[in-house]
Structure 1
């Protein structure tokens, strides 16, 4: 057997079991990238997402499989991350943490899931489009490592990018209306990362508009129906999100908020040259030049449109558009910086080049992209190197960073009252939050008049605060501010003779001066402010024992029941269709 035949045989073996090959590939990449996975995004939100994983593990360990709060944040006072930030992709990493009790291993498993899922979905979709297994395999491998910063929230979305493009491609170019698959993709995006969903919605709109001449009323209806299906498949999450947003004014509602960044920096886009120079994925820009200047004519129409979409998104991040003068006063402030809009264009560019009718191009792209990843990540982020020493003055070596993360995770898991995590941008606190209260732990302290009431025997556990109250004058209402951030769903149970109200936020009207300050700073149009950082407050009239905990609301129960029913209905329809096809073939 000559060298060419041997190479062909090996290729056939890999292509014969593509999903197993991609699984092993993702596992291998995870192992060799273990250090970089846990350190290359420490300057982003790596600790925040670590806390999400370990916090979910704590919830599971306490029998709470669908938690509303994460108690690893804010010194055990409860932070509503799960109600605004879907936990779906975190369950396996959380279980890994429960088994290993090693935070960095759990986070690596999170990265593995993303890489494996990205490789698998990318392979499947490109194979459907090209019927070329070898090319599709390399595409899956390339896409798996295209977004290596797993401590950045948007990096959880890549498994859904290629399926999204493929679903649009089927409708626009193949006249195959497939509202259900597209609806599933949208629903999964919404429950994974809302900002990424908005970015991809804008990207998809551009892609569709570039094919406006191919649109028909049936295709438009199909797209609309997909959105309806997506709402049904995520109705529980959506209702929960809306219910909480209506219950109080959150800090995130202030578009030009001054924490953790200064307001003046929000959506302060640079010129096009500056945006290109600061782009996170420089190799993608080289690929874009190749696609636009060398192989553009050999691309199918969808490939060309992906490149054009990429160019539009890249240009749109610059001050060519009125980001600072107009967009920063709109809902687009949720981006915080315009560069989010172009974050996913490496996926569009790579997919476009793999669709090119060039025999060797896709191999070159795969080798260069994977090689660049290896050099820039696992081969650069070595255990005893401090990669961010020069630029950010972070002197700790990668080994030390991981060791500290594991220690913090272990201590916080066991007792979040003593060891806590930073709540990133503090978006889901009340608008009136004092960030110093979060940082120094005073959010987990009682506030009351010691001349009127005594609080004793305080017991704090997972989703439980118990204490005894002794009033100096029975029957007289006395307010207590609790060591819990209030969210709709908190309830208080009174026993041993105690009586009182249900938890709520105490408000006072804004003064005329405060109203002027709010207007000057473009804060939400409100007339009152929360006291004590928006913590839960109760009024007690009789002595006894008080138990405070979070209980799922009626709207949440109805919403997630409907969501589960919708998923079960789709599963039934899929099963029924599959069995019908099988029986039909069997009779033939």
Structure 2
């Protein structure tokens, strides 16, 4: 009988999983159907052009055998934009591969977003289950989180691919910090992996989550002082994270030391100017529109959970308290003007904190709603179905509000529209250009001073430019390539060439001086720090995988011993 029961439970779990994943896939499509799929049209979100340019640049690199590009040669129409270094491509490879196998830009983007939606539901479910061991609660969390209004605004209205990816991986980082503070701290690698993925998704969100971790550690400082080994493993997790992201982090710092970039100029945004009043956020949620839509569900749940805080356990009380804290920081109630000259100003828009508010409220709601509802109502039977229906209605009307809005109508474009992307869409701030840079060159041209110098057989293949020159006098050659560290130049023949330097007029391009006769080759080789950093990250990844394998092997052995003891 016990064998039959075991087999029945296994089949039940299997069918439950199939049904759950099937629903997640349906929701992944439904979430974007009216704005990205219906009539083969896409709503042009605020950041869509920039992220499509990132995908196109990665596709171009892969097509030319450059599998780990640092420079995007699609953006700036070939002049080279270092976005791949400062905005890592690690998690957008699937979209580029979809283009490689033949999908159009629009098709690849839509399929990619469906993938991200699906993985968001799946990761949310398993992350919650790994802590709470409740299928129903984990399922409810996945629904609340995956269909939350702020996430919808990221996916549909803003096309904020970085935050979309951050939403997907944030639960992993949260589970990691919970394991270190309250659970098996030897599983520190969960936090390491989560923070690495956050870094590669959206560095601003990774920074915001670091603030979350700092507040969380302060709230639990007594436990950490009492059990010092937990703090030790937190430090280990931080060091491993830095080493894992070294392949991007160290080269970024190198470029920032090499020359001044736009992002190092005076900030374009100040938190005090981009924060909005509480009533404005409520109005946006009520209308179910806009780019910073926290959503009525989160507002209502936050109020209910705050009122019921005394009934919550220790962790959930902390999460509700931090939700209120981060929400207030997003409003004009908080003195953001005091942060104008602080590192916090890099967040640019305080409503970015809504990702923390959304996550925390959804987590606590999924964990406690059943207990907070009076037992007479028997919430077991209707809580999840009713929640799903309400969330589907909310999702439907959010899309319909965008579709019928005048702005939305003007921003709906057919798939074919995206076959020719604007290569000059570098994001609002164009942060990674040299400070003071101006667009002035064709990517296949060359400025020769003096003009009498003869240049023949000029050719460009991806990031390599070659030409033959005959210079009777010292001649300046200005390449249509934005000046970054890592470019190299070589001459074959009797001629000579100088080191590459930044051109002053037109400002920000790469220039060299040649003399005599020779064949010149100009290309992006990368830097020593880039190469060393790559191997640091690779070595760390291998060692971490080995550690995880050893830990799992040890746990399996311990479980076998326990089973044998029980049988005896």
TM-score (norm 2): 0.84
Range moving further from structure 2, 283-292 or 310-319: 283-292
Give the 3-state SS of the residue equivalent to 2:74 in structure 1: coil
Aligned equivalent of 1:353? 365
Task: Give the deviation of 1:365 after TM superposition.
Answer: 3.8
- The yes-or-no answer on 1:210 pairing with 2:219 is yes
Task: Give the deviation of 1:402 after TM superposition.
Answer: 3.3
Any unmatched runs of 5+ in structure 2?
1-7, 285-291, 372-378
Aligned 1:522-533 pairs, distance under 5 A: 531-533=505-507
Deviations 1:433-478 (A, max 9, x none): 12xx27xx5576433324442444332221122233332x2xx322
Confirm or deny: 8 A CA contact 2:179 2:188 kept in the other structure.
no
Any unmatched runs of 5+ in structure 1?
1-9, 258-262, 410-418, 507-529
Confirm or deny: 8 A CA contact 1:123 1:136 kept in the other structure.
yes
CA distance in 1, matches of 2:112, 2:246: 25
Task: Give the deviation of 1:389 after TM superposition.
Answer: 2.5
CA distance in 2, matches of 1:105, 1:14: 36
Aligned with 2:244 (options 200, 216, 233): 233
Task: Give the deviation of 1:584 after TM superposition.
Answer: 6.6
Confirm or deny: 8 A CA contact 1:275 1:339 kept in the other structure.
no
- The yes-or-no answer on 1:273 pairing with 2:279 is yes
Q: CA 1:127–1:199 in 2, change beyond 3 Å: closer, same or farther? A: same
Confirm or deny: 8 A CA contact 1:142 1:370 kept in the other structure.
no
Task: Give the deviation of 1:380 after TM superposition.
Answer: 5.4
Aligned equivalent of 1:128? 130
Q: CA 1:83–1:223 in 2, change beyond 3 Å: closer, same or farther? A: same
CA distance in 2, matches of 1:464, 1:484: 10
Aligned with 1:431 (options 432, 435, 440): 435
Confirm or deny: 8 A CA contact 1:446 1:480 kept in the other structure.
yes
Aligned equivalent of 1:103? 105
Q: CA 1:340–1:189 in 2, change beyond 3 Å: closer, same or farther? A: same
Task: Give the deviation of 1:41 after TM superposition.
Answer: 6.4
- The yes-or-no answer on 1:52 pairing with 2:65 is no
Confirm or deny: 8 A CA contact 2:196 2:244 kept in the other structure.
yes
Aligned 1:276-291 pairs, distance under 5 A: 276-277=282-283, 279-283=292-296, 284-291=298-305
CA distance in 1, matches of 2:106, 2:530: 33
CA distance in 1, matches of 2:198, 2:320: 23
Q: CA 1:573–1:212 in 2, change beyond 3 Å: closer, same or farther? A: closer
Confirm or deny: 8 A CA contact 2:495 2:518 kept in the other structure.
yes
Range moving further from structure 2, 342-351 or 570-579: 570-579
Task: Give the deviation of 1:233 after TM superposition.
Answer: 1.4
CA distance in 1, matches of 2:539, 2:357: 35
Aligned with 1:548 (options 506, 510, 522): 522
Aligned equivalent of 2:254? 243
- The yes-or-no answer on 1:344 pairing with 2:356 is yes
Give the 3-state SS of the residue equivalent to 1:104 in structure 2: helix
Over the residues paired in the alignment, what is the CA RMSD in angstroms? 2.9
TM-score (norm 1): 0.81
Aligned equivalent of 1:512? none
- The yes-or-no answer on 1:168 pairing with 2:177 is yes
Confirm or deny: 8 A CA contact 2:294 2:354 kept in the other structure.
no
- The yes-or-no answer on 1:155 pairing with 2:164 is yes
Q: CA 1:52–1:110 in 2, change beyond 3 Å: closer, same or farther? A: same
Aligned residues: 523
CA distance in 1, matches of 2:53, 2:355: 24
CA distance in 1, matches of 2:124, 2:538: 27
CA distance in 2, matches of 1:373, 1:556: 43
Give the 3-state SS of the residue equivalent to 1:329 in structure 2: coil
Aligned equivalent of 2:464? 464
Aligned with 2:335 (options 295, 314, 322): 322
CA distance in 1, matches of 2:385, 2:303: 17
Confirm or deny: 8 A CA contact 2:204 2:347 kept in the other structure.
yes
More helix by percentage: 2
Deviations 1:137-184 (A, max 9, x none): 232243233312232121211122222222222333346453222122
Aligned equivalent of 2:344? 332
